[in-house]
Structure 1
Amino acid sequence: EWEKYIWKDLALWTNKDESNSTLAATYWIKAASANPEISCAYQTNMALCNCVDEEEKKAIWQKYAYGHGCPKCHECSNYNSNNRCCPKAQHRWAKDYETDEAVSDFLIKSAASQGYESSILELCLYQVQRQYAPDKAPAMIDLLMFNFGHVPSEYDAILDKLAQDKEYKLLSRAADLGSRRAASILAKVSKLRHSNFEIYYWNALSANLFTRLSFLEEVSEHKISKGYFEPTSLIEQDYLDCANKIAEQLIGNNEDAFELLKKLADFYIEGLRYRTALKLYQLAEAKNLDVKENIEHVKELIEEEEKDSISYDRYDDYDDYYDYGRDTWDALTDGMYGDYPGDGFDYDVLGF
């Protein structure tokens, strides 16, 4: 049983040293043998980590591009569990090895239909760039920064093409799957479509958390600073999620992050969600911030709430509002002996 877990960890650990690629490959093979239902994942890891020679790597990508994949895939959002063609393998085979352009196009579209982000971007961004601006390919450093929301200037020339419905919908799908590249492009493209809401939305997805919070706060109907509210829209839910993420991790400089944390804690206190507010202050305390008074205040509120609430699991709590004597009298006499005579009545008089 332990082999299901140990070989993968050994492979990942060993692979950090490129000189141990052969040993890492051995561990990947053992991991695949111990976990046959996800051998596709471990075999493709071998190919990705360059643990095997080029011919074996090629054989791995081809095998899983046309079947034999995991019963449940973690690489996409709409995995075809019947055909089990790995979208990652389809994309790799199409890009690196397939010589037939029609077959390559089919594999890319197949992987994209399964929700594989790289294939979606290939269809709606990279192919468009090669078609309309083949001499303006971004440098590697620009592509790296693209992952952090900085759009390479080379794409400015094709923004009008990316604004077309087909490309726009595919970019939206990639952004929805979490692609920062797609969201960054969409923020620019939306200006051509003259949609203020979309500009705010895509900027919010591609920007840093504080900028995203600012965008979402602007388009949200309710504000944290205006009082407690329950989210009634996706924008309001995203707004609260973003604020919570910044507050819980104290992202940014301490002063701004702490100010947001206190504002959010007050927001939850107003909504009587004292334990959520306490958790925020405890996280701040773990970061060595002086919030002792805040924690004490919230704990007092929690204690008051617990005193006011009635626990239905304890017998004693019923005494404050439930008359057991009267209930017993009614049950035994069924109303035939008049009203309840009061505490201390001797039921033996009735023959019970």
Structure 2
Amino acid sequence: MSLAQRWREARPPVAGVHLDSGACSRQSLAAIDAAVQHARHEGEVGAYVAAEAAAPALDAGRAAVGALTGLAGSDVVFTTGANHALDLLLTAWPGERTIACLPGEFGPNLAIMAGNGFAVRPLPVDDAGRLDVEGAARSLAADRPALVHLTPLASHRGLVQPLAAMSEVCADLDLPLVVDAAQALGHMDCATAPAAIFGASRKWIAGPRGVGFLAVRPDLAQRLQPRLPPPQWPTALSVLQRLEHGEANIAARLGFSVALGEHLAAGPALVRERLAEVGRMTRTAVADLPGWRVVEPVDEPSAITTLVPTGGADPETVRKRLIADHGIVTTYAGVERAPFEMTSPVLRVTPHVDATDEDVARFVDALAAVSA
């Protein structure tokens, strides 16, 4: 049985066509059941006793994150999502607040950086928006920021950034590299052991909403100063325990842990290969569609296809009509996703490994109809 067939059979039947995994993939029955069973267990024995019983499964989830990022399970904490993870990290940063990132950085990330008092410096890119690694090395050596932040796969387009090369540059310069893997985890190879890496459950890993992770290398973790509990209070909690301390949706964390295990069992390299194939299939199918321009090169190794309207169509209206008239789910991306780079809204198409030729053909026909 193919990867696509196994993926499809592990999930509830899809209602229509789901081309929105860059926003939220469809969970497996096993991930759903894990969350449901934990909620039932909370009702039987109480939430805190149920949480203690879930600890081994949660440790396995942390170990899976470690395996996918090049860090250890003990370096990982669960969060409520990617934005929460970045805010936890930057709030706890103890020193100078300067950060270098791509001009196409995710808008909410920029807001969190600004809210934590970080001054942003742009990294050099080529005409397509891809990082200029050599130029970045020179720029960072000449004017060192406190942190380097890289989003290897953005929210507003499917260009794959050179994460491994940038990791080497930052290691050579002894600069902490923070990686936003919200779109990258489960989509590209993230096992570069950066100083810190964070992401979400709900995208390519296909876990539930409302949970994510932050992984911090021990040398950086020792420098952090979490707000809670306040430093003057006596506590035996480690830095990472303090970052994760507080109320938690354990059921969602268990669903995420199951989804991570399913991803590892499927074979991350095989998943990456299939996602790249799905991206090529989609971009080839829409390449000649009147009224739209494809942003990514056809062979870009990602499943994300970004469509810019050239004939006056409104991507937000198009998305709504695709759902209402054809049962096809895509993403509307406004300029706030990358405010320093985007000049107009786009339509984003993000199928997962189970996408078929028929799904894509149905989307192309529907897009032509609603764009007319």
Higher RCO (C-alpha under 8 Å, 6+ residues apart): 2
TM-score, normalised to structure 1, is 0.21
Find the structure with the greater CA-based Rg: 1
Which one has a larger percent helix, Structure 1 or Structure 2?
Answer: 1
TM-score, normalised to structure 2, is 0.20
